[in-house]
Amino acid sequence: MSQKIRVLVVDDSALMRKLIPQTLLHDPSIEVVGTAMDGLIGLRKIEELKPNVVTLDLEMPRMDGIEMLRQITRKHRVPVIVVSAHTNEGASLTLKALGLGAFDFVTKPSDAASGRLTQIASELALKIKVAAASGAPKMIITVPAAKPKTRRPFSAQPHVPSRIVAIGVSTGGPAALQYLFSQLPEDFPGALVVVQHMPEGFTEMFAQRLHESTPIEVKEAQSGDLLLAGRALICPGNRHIKVRRMEHGDVVMLVDQPRVNGHRPSVDVLFHSVAKELGSRAVAVQMTGMGDDGAAGLGAIRAAGGFTIAQSPDTCVVDSMPRSAIDRGFVCRVESLAELAALLQSKCSPERPAAEPVGAVNYSSPAESTSRRRTP
């Protein structure tokens, strides 16, 4: 029998310190080796118990979860899964924690106080297993300081994009997207549409943080939003997003169809609509994430003449989303996170080079990639 995954639960709520271990008891591959009521005790128990994964509440007395996470990132390199309150304050702290290196998060259900965590039991167990398998973060992403945005000169004409860039991303996505967007210029000629696996109530705040910290315009998408050059639209949590060609320009539409690949929003829903509506005008990027959502849609975009990119597995927090597309032969180019922005700029430039031939994947080796990229 393989060794169990050792988990430390850190939460100031006595109820949560009881319920989370009870929830994880149902998975024979996981063992909760200890609990702690605040960050100070939690750090001591990491030293004593050597857990493989830590689940972490963020709002605690004495040392809160954010400071504990900073200490873990510096000293212990243990993957951390945030167990977040589904509130505005909880969402804000969770996004901050993800930027500091937390592996992923789950949100406490609304009835958690009544003793029920069944809604997140399988999600939490799965993320613990993936975190344990992934180990310490492969890289800490450092985002350059944001420069003040300049107002674009008024124009009666909309900023028609040269190409549409569709992006699918999951675990590790918040930090990876922030880095990518920080490298794009304010006058980026393409329009971006993003599906980030994230629950309802988090995406608006996430879009706002990206808007404030990167050169381009970023907003949570609404039905009818135009796809404009230099603008990124983030799909709201618990909705699907599609693109549609209209007489006055390309727009996005939000729909409430059933989950696809277990997700809403689903990357495949976006990618299939992009393949159908835009064809060769599309560029699609499959970034860091768990599972295979988006792989089939990426294949559809490539078959329709679009250009498909996968983030290189060695720069992903979890590489199964891009790897699933690479393994199926759906990717034109595999590129490191550090070089993605330059590639998108070249592909969206009106005077971009001729398209690369459809054939074997252009995949720089890790050694070649490292020699020519800035490490984020």
Given the structure tokens 């009870």, which residue do they identify?
22
Q: Provide the token pair at 205.
A: 């705040």
3-state helix, strand, coil in the chain (%, to 5): 40, 20, 40
Instruction: Tell me how many degrees the CA angle 198-310-366 measures, rounded to the nearest 5.
Output: 120
Q: Are 238 and 200 spatial neighbours (Cβ–Cβ below 8 Å)? A: yes
- Among the listed residues 182, 197, 211, 225, the single catalytic one is 197
Whether 170 is a known active-site residue: answer yes
Helix boundaries (H) for the chain:
14-24, 39-49, 65-71, 88-99, 121-134, 173-182, 203-213, 267-278, 295-303, 320-327, 337-348, 366-372
Q: Provide the token pair at 289.
A: 């994430």
- Among the listed residues 84, 170, 320, 336, the single catalytic one is 170
Question: What are the DSSP calls for 161-210, one per residue?
Answer: -SSEEEEEE-TTHHHHHHHHHHTS-TT-SSEEEEEE---TTTHHHHHHHH
Q: How far is CA 235 from CA 182, 193, 205, in A?
A: 19, 8, 12
Q: Are 138 and 174 spatial neighbours (Cβ–Cβ below 8 Å)? A: no
Given the structure tokens 């509440």, which residue do they identify?
57
- Among the listed residues 38, 104, 293, 319, the single catalytic one is 293
Question: Which residues are catalytic, by number?
Answer: 170, 197, 293
